[in-house]
Structure 1
C-alpha cells in the first residue's frame, strides 16, 4: 500500500504529484515500540518469557487449576494472563505485564513447585522461574510498564474522533519528553520496584530472587539504552510529520502556537504557507495571491477561538462561510481532509462484527448497510426521536394501501397522528 514505487501510494503519485501518503499513526506507534523490543536484547528476552508463561498455563487446564489453588492458599487475586497479539501489541503487552506484576508471588510459588518435579515440563518451569526471579528482568519489566503507560496514552489520543494531522507532532513530542524524563526521574512503576527490591536480603517483596542481586541505579546504561532506542524509533517512524508540507500545516493552522506579538504574528507562517501552496500548486494556482491576503484576516478571525479545540474552531469557520476568507477556507478544508488514522474504519469493522453474527448471516447488503450507517453515524438511543421513523414505516408499503396494526388496516395518509400510532404499536408489543 505505502510502497514508493509499486505500492498504491507510489502509483497514484506518478499521476498526482501533490498527494500526501500517511501511514495510520496508531499502527506507526505500535511498530515503533516493536522495533525497540526487537533491537534491545533484554526486552526481547522479556517478551519471550511472557509468551512462554502464557503458553505454559494456557495449554494445560491442570496447571491452571494448580496455580488457582496456590492463589487461594496465599489469599491473592489471580489476574488472567493474556497472549501477546501482533495486531494489538501495545495493549496486550501492557495487560500481560500488569498480570505478571499482580501474580508474581503466586506464579513464582507455583513454578518453584513445578520445577522440582521430574516430568518433561520441569525444565520449562525452571527456565521461567529463573527469568521472573532475576533482578535485571524485573527491573526491565517495571521500566517497560512505565514506557507503555506513556505509549498507551499516546495511542488513545491517536484513536480519538476528528483527529487533525497538525495535532500529531506536538503530541508525539510531548510523549518523547515524558520518556526522556524517565532517564532522570523514576516513573511510578520504577519507584515501586526500587521500594520492594532489597539487594542485601536477595528479595523482591516476598519473592526470593535467584542469581546476583546488585545495587540498582535506575539511571544505569541499560535504562538509558532502552529509552534512547524507544525515542529513536518513534522519531524514525514519525519523521514524515517533520517534513514539508505536513510540518507546514502545523505552523500555518495551529493557532494555539501562534505568537501574541503583532509584528511577529504578521510574518509568522508565511514561508510555510508558500510551501503548502507550491506543493498543491495545481489546486491553488489561481487563488494564490488572495490566499496570502486572507491569511492575515484568518489570524485575526481565529483570535477568539484559542480556547476551543482546533477541529471545532475550523469546522465552525467552514460552516459559517465568511466571505472575506473564502479562498483561505479552501486550504483549511484541505487540511481537515488529511486523514492520519484508520481508527474510525476499525470501529466500523467492529460494528459490522456485532451486526452480522452467525444468526444474522442472511441480511441483504442494503439492509446491512443501512443498519451499519445508523450504528456508526446515527444518534444515540437517548437522542433518537422516533416520530419521523414511525410515520415513514406506516406509509412505506409496497401496495400503497397502508399497514395492518393490531389487526386493523392503517390507511396511508400524509397527516399521521403520531400519538395514535405509538399507542397502537405499544399495544401490539404488549400482546
Structure 2
C-alpha cells in the first residue's frame, strides 16, 4: 500500500501531489494490539482456547442448536460464539469475549452434558470434558476478565476512530487518553479483573462464578500477567500511533499546529501574535493565504479574551474547514468493501461495474427508507412509460408445442 515505487500511496500522490498520506489509525491500532499479543505468551493460549470453542459451535449446527436450547432452559439470551484476536478489528474481539462472559454458565452446562452424552464418540466426549474443565479453572476466568478489561478500552477507541466526524486532533487526544488509561490500569485494575480476583481468592464453595464452582489451576495452565499486558499495550500504542513513519516531523508538527486552533490549548496570557508560525505552516500545507488566516486568528484571540466569543471569524473559517478534511482512518472504504461483498454475492456475480457502483452508492450514501420519498421518481417513471408503451411490454417467445401445454390449458379453465 505504501510502496515507494508502485504502491497505492505513490500512485495517488502522482495524481494529487498535495495529498496528505499516512497509515490508517484503525489499522495501526490493530498492529499495536498484535505486537502486544506477540509479546505476552499467555494470550496465545487464550486465543487457542477461543478458537476451539468457535470451531465447535461454528462447524456443527447440532452443537449450536443444543447451546441455544440450553440458554432457553436457563432463561439466558443466546449469542453466537465468534473468534478473538483474528483478522477482524478489535471491536469484534471484544464482542466475542463479552458473549463468553454472558454465556459462561450455559456454555459450561452444555460442555458438561456433551461430555456425558452417550450418542457422542469418545473423542468428542473427551474434548467436551477438557473444555468444561478448562472453563472452570481459575486461570481461564482470570484471563477472561483481563481480556475483557483491555478489549473494552480498545474497542471504544477503535469505534471512536471509525466515526465519520472524527478529526485529527480529536483522534490524537483519544489515543493519548487510551495510553494513559492502560498505564493507570497497571496499578488500578479494571472492574472485571477486580471482581474475578476477589472471587478466586475465596475458598471452598464460595468460589463460584455465575453458578460454576471455580477449580484451582493445573500445572500447565497459563495466567496472563495483567500489569505486563497493560504496559505492553500502552507502549505499543505509543509506538504505532504516535511515532509516525516516514514524514514523522511534518505529521507531528501538523498535529501540534492544529491544536492551536482550540482556545482550551492557549496559555492564560495569550498574546495576539501567538500561533503565528503554526498558522503559516498549516496554510502552506493547505495552500491558503497565510496573511488572511493570521489576521483572522488574531481577531479570534481578541474576541475570546475581550468578549468571550468562541465563534471563529470568517477569515479563519477556511483553515478550520481544511483541517477537518484530513482522513483519520479508512473505515469508510472498509464499509464500501463490505457493501460490495454483500451486493456482489455468488448468486449475483453477473452485475456490471456500473450497476454495482450505483447500488453501492445507494447503500453507502443513500437515505434510509423512512427518509426517501419515491413520489417524484414514480411520476417520472410513469411519464416515460406512457410516452413509450412499447418499452414497458416485454417480448416473450411463445412455445406453442411445449409438452405441458395441455396441462396449462386445463389450469385456465
TM-score, reference length from structure 1: 0.71
The secondary structure found in structure 2 opposite 1:131 is: helix
Q: Counterparts in 2 of 1:245-394, with a 5 A limit?
A: 245-254=250-259, 255-259=261-265, 263-264=269-270, 266-276=272-282, 280=285, 283=287, 287-299=289-301, 304-305=309-310, 322=314, 324-325=315-316, 329=318, 331-353=319-341, 355-356=343-344, 364-386=352-374, 388-390=376-378, 392-393=380-381
Which of 192, 195, 198 pairs up with 1:189?
A: 192
Distance 1:368 1:241 in 2: 36
Deviation (angstroms), 1:47 = 1.0
Deviation (angstroms), 1:170 = 0.5
1:162 and 2:147 aligned? no
Distance 1:235 1:379 in 2: 39
Which of 186, 211, 214 pairs up with 1:209?
A: 214
Counterparts in 2 of 1:236 and 1:6: CA distance versus 1, 3 Å: farther
1:83 and 2:88 aligned? no
Q: Counterparts in 2 of 1:36-47, with a 5 A limit?
A: 36-47=36-47
The secondary structure found in structure 2 opposite 1:20 is: coil
Deviation (angstroms), 1:296 = 2.2
8 Å Cα contact 1:42/1:137 also seen in 2: no
The secondary structure found in structure 2 opposite 1:266 is: coil
8 Å Cα contact 1:394/1:403 also seen in 2: no
Deviation (angstroms), 1:50 = 0.5
Distance 1:395 1:71 in 2: 56
Counterparts in 2 of 1:99 and 1:387: CA distance versus 1, 3 Å: closer
Aligned to 1:92: 92
Counterparts in 2 of 1:239 and 1:3: CA distance versus 1, 3 Å: farther
The secondary structure found in structure 2 opposite 1:9 is: helix
The secondary structure found in structure 1 opposite 2:204 is: coil
8 Å Cα contact 2:91/2:159 also seen in 1: no
The secondary structure found in structure 2 opposite 1:80 is: coil
Distance 1:212 1:261 in 2: 55
Which of 146, 150, 153 pairs up with 2:149?
A: 146
Deviation (angstroms), 1:17 = 7.8
The secondary structure found in structure 2 opposite 1:235 is: helix
Distance 1:370 1:6 in 2: 29
Q: CA-to-partner distance for each residue in 1:223-264, whole Å, 9 max, x for gaps?
A: 210111111111112124695433444444444454566742
Distance 2:360 2:65 in 1: 42
Distance 1:365 1:301 in 2: 53
Deviation (angstroms), 1:168 = 0.9
Distance 1:170 1:288 in 2: 26
Deviation (angstroms), 1:56 = 2.7
Deviation (angstroms), 1:136 = 2.7
TM-score, reference length from structure 2: 0.73
Distance 2:346 2:66 in 1: 36
Counterparts in 2 of 1:270 and 1:224: CA distance versus 1, 3 Å: farther
Counterparts in 2 of 1:96 and 1:396: CA distance versus 1, 3 Å: same
Which fold has the larger relative contact order, with Cα–Cα distance below 8 Å and residues 6 or more apart in sequence?
A: 2
Q: Counterparts in 2 of 1:36-115, with a 5 A limit?
A: 36-64=36-64, 67=67, 71=71, 76-84=76-84, 86-112=86-112
The secondary structure found in structure 2 opposite 1:22 is: coil
The secondary structure found in structure 1 opposite 2:225 is: helix
Deviation (angstroms), 1:295 = 3.3
Counterparts in 2 of 1:110 and 1:380: CA distance versus 1, 3 Å: closer
Counterparts in 2 of 1:368 and 1:176: CA distance versus 1, 3 Å: same
Counterparts in 2 of 1:89 and 1:165: CA distance versus 1, 3 Å: closer
Distance 1:351 1:68 in 2: 29
Counterparts in 2 of 1:396 and 1:373: CA distance versus 1, 3 Å: farther
Distance 1:148 1:51 in 2: 17
1:402 and 2:387 aligned? yes
Distance 2:67 2:365 in 1: 46
Deviation (angstroms), 1:93 = 1.9
Deviation (angstroms), 1:46 = 0.8
Query: Mean Cα displacement is larger for which, 358-367 or 140-149?
Result: 358-367
Which of 225, 228, 232 pairs up with 1:229?
A: 232
Q: Which runs of 5+ in 2 are unaligned?
A: 393-413
Which of 114, 120, 137 pairs up with 2:123?
A: 120
8 Å Cα contact 2:146/2:224 also seen in 1: no
